[in-house]
Structure 1
Amino acid sequence: MKTIIHLYALLAVALTSTAQLPTPSTPNGNLVTVKEMLINGPPQLKMHSLAMITQKQIPGTVDASYLDALEACSIDSMAPIRSITARILGEYFIQDQSNPEARALEILLTLAQDSNADVRFSATALGLCKLRSMTPKVLETLITIATTDRRAPLLEAIQNAIADLPETKQYLENKLQNQADVACYELYRELIGSEPIHAATYLELPSSRPRLFVFNTGNADPQTAAIELQRQLKKLGIDHKLIQSNDAQATSMLMLKTFITKEYIAVEKYFTNHNQFPITQALWVTPEIEIQLQTF
């Protein structure tokens, strides 16, 4: 999460410097409007215009008359332009709107399926998740995203948006009745906080992706703690090698990857609020996390 916040901070600095550029004009001296720059401008001018909107430096209000321009930006080849466009759509057309703009919602639904992870995050966490009332199409989209994109900040945003909705539980139950989908089962447990019908069906199956647990070992000697934690894990039938950091500042941390559904459930039950080795974090292993683990 800190990495994402840092990324947006850098982006904000970049946008601030971009927004100080003079308003562009044509060769005959006529000023180019923000909408024209968004539709026809080169990438740097599109970024300039988007920055002006995010910093509220444009005359008038951002209303439906901007949707042609924002839709043009939503299909731009540059991911940062698509990502900022999604954030603007969420802020001006979705968030706090009792009647959100239908066209803006359709653009966000498309961006939520974008090939770029940052664009998907902006469209989902900062757009669709801000809806006051979830439509069936948006609910289905958010659940689909949550079962495929397991980044913790994104899952948290989706959970905050739909976990308490009766429609969410009903949708997941219907889906699990129609097909055995371990990712859907995992999401049910996370969002609803209980086991669905026929939960035993999934216990022996591989989880949709590895689950990473981070344990706090306190002030114990690192090697002694690792031996003891490994012993307790073996009592649960789990014999995977623990992950230890080479960083001297992370000696009080041990990590474990599980691969079978019943394994991560057993770890959660046994080590949540454990006196000696409490779980401080539980994450689905995304490609980004896998890369980080390789550098440990």
Structure 2
Amino acid sequence: MKTVVYTSDKKTHFFQELKFIYRDIKSSNFLAYQMTKRDIQSQHRQSLLGFFWILAPVIVNSLIWLFLNGSGVVSVNSPGGIPYPVFVILGTTIWNIFAEALQSPINSVNAGRAIISKINFPKEALLMKGLYTTFFNLTIKMIPAVAILIIYQIAPSWSLLLFPFYIIALTVFAFTIGLIITPLGLIYTDISKVLTTGIPFLMYLTPVVYAVPKMGIFKFLFKLNPLTYIINDTRNTLVGMEAQSLLFTVILTAISLIVLLIGLVIFRKSMPIVIEKIAG
């Protein structure tokens, strides 16, 4: 058996690390695909409802808010004349895509804790597995969104061409944040608990199930939240409305990509330390 010794005196510069990361991602792509396929099959093979559980968070959350609004418990108005069921189902779908992409890196690597300290393989394969799973689930999650648009006979416009860009921008933004906190999250389980608790709270500071308030402190907090602009525009591309913050999203995506590269290097450099901690 080959013995690999990790030492701290190996000096490489940033771009050389990126070159190694690209090489390892390319060489482990098939491994990542196979792990994704295995996990998807194992999760749903013995499930009576199968892929429905991917849709469940979207459907349940949407039904709760539709019931609250319909019963008069809360009074929620959607902007631009969008029917509220369309507004809330699209918003919940987009939010679930963000939430899953955010938790994807730490969940994928956590799922591989049993093998990362025993088998020598590119750990980037675990990140790719999480990304592949996120995009697979994304296609399933879009079913309610497409259905509600058909039911309300909302015809697509040219803005629909921007939808793939906004989805990629949202996924990159979320995945980057998740990647940055993954090394700490593997050592301290509190990070995962903070994510689980904080994501639902953040949803209420984002125009997911109701529009941006017109006044008050919450309007200010919504304006500070970058997700406000991405989620509003992503939903707008689906209902035929004009994207309001395209330049902001382009800039945010560019920054996210730069931070993503930095995060990949940090992940690679920190993994020997993380493996030592979790194995001990």
TM-score when normalising by structure 1: 0.27
TM-score when normalising by structure 2: 0.28
Name the structure with the higher strand share: 1
Name the structure with the higher helix share: 2
Q: Which has the larger radius of gyration?
A: 1
